[in-house]
Structure 1
Amino acid sequence: MIIVIAVGAWLGLKLYKQAQEVSSEESQALSLLSNVQDVSQLNNANAVSTILPQLQAHTAKAATIANGSLWKLATHVPVYGDDITTVQGMTQSVNSLSTKALPQLSKSLQTLLGSQLSSGDRNISVQPIIDAQSGFSEADKDLQSELDQLKWLPEPHLKQVKEPYNLAVQKFTSVSGQIDQINNLIQVMPKFLGSDGMRTYVIMAQTTSEARSGGGLVGSLGSFTANRGAISVGEFHPNAEFIKLGGSHANADEQAVFQSPLGFAFDIRDLATFPDFSRTAETVKDVWQLSPYKSTVDGVMGIDPVFVQEMIKISGNVTLPNGMVLTGDNTAQFMLNGIYKDVPVSEQDTYFSYVASAAMNNVFKNMTATKMIKIAQSFSSLTGQRHLYLYSFHADDAKNFQDAGLAKNAPSSETNPETGIYLNENNPSKLDWYLHRNTVITRTSCNQDGSQTYHVAFTATNTIPAADLASGNAYILGGFSRIGAPGTPVERILFYAPQGGSIRNFSVSGNGGNPTQVSMDGKKPWTSVASIAPGKSVTYNYDVTTSINSQADLSLDQTPMGWLDPGVTYNMGACKIG
């Protein structure tokens, strides 16, 4: 870390030379960390252990120098003393990483990767995963603690300190994020696979090309059973079988919000309308228990075509009855758009069921630790972006499912603030495949009471091609409800403030109404209806203030699109939290 002449003038050439030495050692250490900042690299049992001796030598030397008596004296230098403190804290954090978290991780990884997980076609040996839980949990805990300490160091003034500090935060965030992904799955997997006895989950398959707050219109329900590692995937049944069971599953507040422009029936099709997956899971269970397939239900999974595509990418291609091959690149496009063009309506449910069943079966077929690590990497982004939900009705399992963020609700954390933006298609169609969304979140101030203020700019653009618009395919284009013209999405949008925070100063450009505040499920979201013609956009601008207890940057929770890119840009340079 180069402490420049401004500091050198205070404390002399010796400190300057030591700073250059610290800089060299830390740079080499951070370079070595690149070997473990991607989950794919962790599939090699030696990926961590081979770098540890070199990494520990560099970090120990840097930490020893930076915490010597001369550096302790330098912390009292006006202004630039904070930079010295930051360098000291950084060297300590990176050294702790190399001597505590990474050795524990290396040991746990080598044990897991050396284990035999598959004991048959779809039979998984659960015990090796259980044996790995404590090691991964400890490594994850140490990493998260060190990352928190690193982030709370004083903001550096000097460019020569700021750049390596930011690099250290970036590397730490990447490594800790990767390990957190693996740890979450390892903590969940044994319970999910019925390590304590049989578990049966209802699988809710939804299509995001007809948006609902938490995903999309529910097309079918299936089942998944696990008993001490033995997996069985049941048949998927089309929504028509459940619609005829009748009954609305919404409360008065929900019905009031979604009574126009299209009055939602809140039968099986609309159960992802609730931003809280806890509500969705409960109502899906109720519907399942009214059907001929009723059974013990231990939890609910929610999946969509993006999840299916990611599982096909990991587990292998699926060949459709018509000979088409679905891959890790074309599955979502086919299931969200192509099927409505190329497959007769009478056969679409069969195709959906076939693909969903094949993907779920293949996920657990011939399981290896390497495959499980790949699944862990995908599960983090899939659950974070609402392409996948894992919800348990067992209190002892809940901490590893919904409490671990695998079944998102509307914003509920004061310390990790989110603003929620949820879309619901009111022009019955499959137009949300064409609706591309972009959101820019800019921090504008860090307030004295501990809260932060942000500006949010949310834009939705209708990108439907002229050829698709000219096709006249009413199943895709809609328009027959007289709510919107063919090819024009009509969206009931919900905007949620962070827990303990607020929204103000809405402005709208394009064909969208001014948001009004409503009550729903114990919260007070804002709602608006936007009609977005082909080639047009609508933009909502608003300001968000977080809770005084917020400890992280504001993030966006939103209705998933037909791809993994969430379309979010963050600008946080105005100030630093804390």
Structure 2
Amino acid sequence: MTHPGWGDKWADVPVLRVPDSPFDTPQESVPGQGAAVLPLRRSGDPPAPRWEKPPLRRPAFWTRRRRRVLKVALLALAGLLTALALVLAWVVVDALRARSALEQAAQGVARLHADAVAGRTDRLDAGVAGLQHQAAEARDATSGPHWSLAGRLPGVGPTVEAVSTMAAVVDGLAVGALPQLAAVVQVADPAAFAPRDGRIDLAPLVRVAPDVAQADQAIGDAQQRVGRVGGSLMLPQVGRAVADLEQQLGGLRTSTATAARAAALIPPMLGAEGPRDYLVLVQNNAEPRALGGIVGTVLVLHADEGRIELTRQMPASEVGPFARPAAPLTDDERAVFGDKVGRWLQNATATPDFPRTAEIARAMWARETGQTVDGVLAVDPAALAGMLQVTGPLEVTPGRRLAGAGLVGYLINGVYLTETPAGADRIFADVAETAFASLSSGAGRAGGMVEALAGAAREGRLLVWSAERSEAELLEGTVLGGGLRGVDGSRPVVGVFTHGLQMAKIGYYLDTAVDVVERERRPDGSRRFDVTVTYSSRVDPGAAARLPDYVVGRGEEEPGRIRLRSVVYAPAGGIVVAASENSEKIGFSPQKHDELSRVFDDIELHPGKTASVTYVIISGKHQGGDVIVRTTPGPRPVKVTFGK
């Protein structure tokens, strides 16, 4: 059907014929018309869909081929899954074997550490051999193509990587740093460093110093590598093994870091590279200052190639006082301590920052004597008594020998009950000379001396500073350094210090306790603590009036009353927001000292009584570690507790 307006060419367009089947051939065009003719539809036939294509029929051979291909694919997939299951089963068996070996290895590291610290050198070789066997077992269990394949599988990779990394770490330590460390411990046995005829043989320590440093670095690297292992997808059993190994390596690193510092510090500080002179400040805890007590006596020690001599001693009162501070003071120091900290040697310990105390004392000594020392040490009678426990009782007066707490009590209290100040100074001089001779003789168990020194350092009773910059940096951050700091890594540091307000030795009767309770973890990462400082008087109310003026203080209205200043430093970035004394709120004015916020409260403690001050402290942000509390060492240990 056409339309006249469509034109003549419309009739020449061929009309397609719909085939009856895919295999029908089209009919030829009617001659003269040039078009294929569709079959005529009969009346009653259903109309053909305009756009629907007829179904395509496939030959039978095509269907059979597709079935064969599908069957082969299914068989291949089943084989692959079976192989994968076998690989995973193999990996699981090896992982369990490796985990068992690694758990034993972690225990082996702990035993090796304990033996090294205790000086049980006879057990070290066997301990290292056992660790090597366990490490080899874990290494063999985590090697091979099946292990590499499993490491690439989703969900399995973190566990495989954790076990493999731990095996590699332990194996590396077992064949590298730990045998080296065992050899170092054998050479650096404390008994080898006991003084003989007043001299310490430094050659063995100089020889092993590079090995100690290398072992410490290797263990530190291993700890960091294990710390990066794992993730949320790691199996819990493997996660616990990772945490255990990291903890054991951390404990070992603490010891190796200490050993590495000691190996780097001791030889040069004892004169291996040239003579050294040190000023020793002997503190008296009966008259409290932040670092312990006023400086009562000063000594000078001369060290040359391991030989140590006592060359001078004198009362600290004979150094100065100076008209102007011997060393420049910062604005903070002037505001907080006044200029006496730089003019009176007895008050140099008023700052809780020992490096500053050392610098000021060194400058005072140089101005007074003309001698410039190479370093400064601070000790107190309790530290001395701890060392003398190893060598034996000390003769304090003819026929009277004391040790331990009895020696401490006599030196900072008993001597004042029977002697004049001048007589007490003479006794102190004799005791210092006798004690030095006893300690330099090498008598007693060397391991016991090391333990006594370590205990004194932990309590803040033994402090060391070197004028050599590299040595001062090694001491910084250690218990020997005594620096003022408000944070240690992620651990907030709270300072709790005591300053006596009397020119008296009444502080001998003062006991101090500190309780820290965490109250809140805040959204910004800071924390709120209640720090309660409790002071107790041991003064017998009935006997207070009979105590000498030198002990209770001349002109005191109430003999036996203890007047003191309680000083608290907040952690870095933190602040003290409230305070109360005996449950009654008190006011205070915050001060700044070396970027740390500090507050204080003056307390009058009557004989036999107790007073408590609670400080509410907000820490700096992101200080989630355990709290460190620095305190003023007293005649007896300060009791520090952490409540909830």
Asked whether the equivalents of residues 95 and 163 of structure 2 are also in contact (C-alpha less than 8 Å), the reply is: no
Are the aligned partners of 1:124 and 1:230 in contact in 2 as well (CA < 8 Å)? yes
**Counterpart residue number, 1:515:** 588
Look up the match of 1:209: 286
1:355/1:441 Cα in 2 relative to 1: closer, same or farther (>3 Å)?
farther
Instruction: Give distance in 2, aligned partners of 1:27 and 1:431.
Output: 55
Question: What is the aligned counterpart of 1:497 among 570, 574, 588?
Answer: 570
Counterpart among 463, 479, 485 of residue 389 in structure 1: 463
Out of 433, 436, 440, which is 1:357 matched to? 433
Matched, 1:525 2:609: no
TM-score (norm 2): 0.72
Aligned 8 A contact 1:452 1:546 in 2: yes
The two structures, once aligned, show a CA RMSD in angstroms of 4.1
Check if 1:541 corresponds to 2:619: no
* Structure 1 alignment gaps of length 5 or more: 1-10, 573-578
SS state at 1:211 partner: coil
Match of 1:7 in 2: none
TM-score, normalised via structure 1 length: 0.79
Which of 362, 377, 384 is the equivalent residue of 1:301? 377
Is 1:48 matched up with 2:124? yes
Deviations 1:315-371 (CA, angstroms, capped at 9, x unpaired): 443222243333355433443444444555443223333333333444443499x83
For 1:318-337, list aligned pairs within 5 A. 318-328=394-404, 330-337=406-413
Q: Distance in 2 between matches of 1:270 and 1:114?
A: 36
Q: Distance in 2 between matches of 1:544 and 1:61?
A: 50
Number of residue pairs aligned between Structure 1 and Structure 2: 548
Native 8 Å contact 1:427 1:481 kept in 2: no
1:226 paired to 2:303: yes
Partner Cα distance (1:155, 1:337) in 2: 59
626, 629, 632: which one aligns with 1:559: 632
Q: Contact 2:292/2:461 (CA < 8 Å) preserved in 1?
A: yes
Find the partner of 2:497 among 415, 422, 430.
422
Matched, 1:406 2:480: yes
Checking the alignment, whether the CA contact within 8 Å between 2:539 and 2:560 is kept in structure 1 is no
Cα shift at 1:184: 2.4
1:317 paired to 2:393: yes
Partners of 1:12 and 1:494 in 2: how far apart?
Answer: 63
Does the Cα contact within 8 Å between 2:513 and 2:639 map onto a contact in 1? yes
Contact 2:196 2:440 in 1 (8 A): no
Counterpart of 1:426 in structure 2: which amino acid?
A: L
* Contact 2:579–2:585 under 8 Å retained in 1: no
Write the distance in 2 (CA, Å) between the matches of 1:282 and 1:221: 15
Range that drifts further, 229-238 or 311-320: 311-320
- The answer as to 2:366 corresponding to 1:289 is yes
Give the deviation of 1:87 after TM superposition.
6.5
User: Conserved in 2, the CA contact under 8 Å of 1:436 and 1:463?
Assistant: no
CA distance in structure 2 between the aligned counterparts of 1:405 and 1:82, rounded to whole angstroms: 39
Q: CA deviation at 1:121?
A: 0.7
Confirm or deny that 1:176 pairs with 2:248: no
CA pair 160-245 structure 1, distance change in 2 beyond 3 A:
same
Answer yes or no: is the 8 Å Cα contact 1:456–1:543 preserved in 2.
yes
Q: Partner residue of 1:464?
A: 538
Structure 2: segments with no counterpart, 5+ residues:
1-86
Deviates more, 1:411-420 or 1:14-23: 14-23
Structure 1 residues 92 and 315 mapped into 2: Cα distance closer, same or farther (>3 Å)?
A: farther
Give distance in 2, aligned partners of 1:281 and 1:34.
Answer: 38
1:76 is the counterpart of 2:151: no
1:182 aligned partner, one-letter code = A
How far has the Cα of 1:426 moved from its partner? 1.1
How many angstroms apart in 2 are the aligned matches of 1:151 and 1:465? 52
Separation in 2 of the partners of 1:488 and 1:152? 57
3-state SS of 2:155 partner: coil
Distance, in Å, in 2 between the alignment partners of 1:349 and 1:506 is 43
* Aligned: 1:455 with 2:529: yes
Does residue 1:125 correspond to 2:201, yes or no? yes
Provide Cα deviations, 1:226-274, integer angstroms capped at 9, x if missing partner.
Answer: 12222111342113322566655666644543479xx989512111001
Of 205, 212, 231, the match for 1:136: 212
Offset at residue 379 of structure 1 (A): 4.3
Cα 1:115–1:220 shift into 2, 3 Å:
closer
Paired with 2:160 and 2:413, the residues of 1 have a C-alpha distance of 56
Q: Counterparts of 1:306 and 1:96 in 2: how far apart (Å)?
A: 44
Amino acid at match of 2:252: V
AA aligned to 1:180 is A
Percent of aligned pairs with the same amino acid: 20
**Worse-superposed segment, 15-24 or 189-198:** 15-24
Cα distance in structure 2, aligned partners of 1:177 and 1:432? 35
String of CA shifts for 1:28-60, please: whole Å, max 9, x gaps: 334444444447754233332221111222244
Change in CA separation of 1:89 and 1:335 when aligned onto 2, cut-off 3 Å:
farther
The question of 1:57 aligning with 2:115 is answered no
- 1:53 aligned partner, one-letter code: A
Q: 1:516: how far off?
A: 2.0
Are the equivalent residues in 2 in contact too, given 1:41–1:47 (CA < 8 A)? Answer: no
Q: Give how far 1:215 is off.
A: 2.0
Q: What is the one-letter code of the residue matched to 2:120?
A: N
| 1:88–1:74 distance in 2 versus 1, CA, 3 Å | farther
C-alpha separation in 2, matches of 1:222 and 1:361? 14
Cα distance change on mapping 1:366 and 1:479 into 2, 3 Å: closer
- Distance in 2 of aligned mates of 1:322 and 1:39: 43
| Counterpart Cα distance in 1 of 2:589 and 2:194 | 54
The 2-side partners of 1:146 and 1:519 are apart by 40
Distance change (3 Å), C-alpha of 1:117 and 1:214: closer
How far did 1:216 drift?
A: 1.0
Would the aligned equivalents of 2:169 and 2:222 in 1 still touch at CA under 8 Å? yes
Separation (CA, whole Å) in 2 of partners of 1:454 and 1:64: 50
State the shift of 1:165 in Å.
Answer: 6.0
SS in 2 for 1:280: helix
SS in 1 for 2:176: helix
Aligned-partner residue type, residue 503 of structure 1 = I
Aligned with 2:314 (options 216, 237, 249)? 237
The CA deviation at 1:199 is: 0.7
Comparing both chains, which one has the higher relative contact order based on Cα–Cα distances under 8 Å and sequence gaps of 6 or more?
Answer: 1
Instruction: Evaluate the alpha carbon distance shift between residue 475 and residue 95 of structure 1 in structure 2; reply closer, same or farther with a 3 A threshold.
Output: farther
Q: Give the SS at the match of 1:288.
A: helix
| CA–CA separation in structure 2 for the residues paired with 1:456 and 1:103 | 47
Contact 2:514–2:532, Cα closer than 8 Å, also in 1: yes
When residues 504 and 524 of structure 1 are mapped into structure 2, their CA distance, relative to the original with a 3 A threshold, is closer
AA at the equivalent of 2:602:
V
1:575 is aligned to none
Of 14-23 and 35-44, the range deviating more from structure 2: 14-23
SS at match of 1:437: strand
Is the Cα contact below 8 Å between 1:181 and 1:376 reproduced in 2? no
- Residue 48 of structure 2 is matched in structure 1 by none
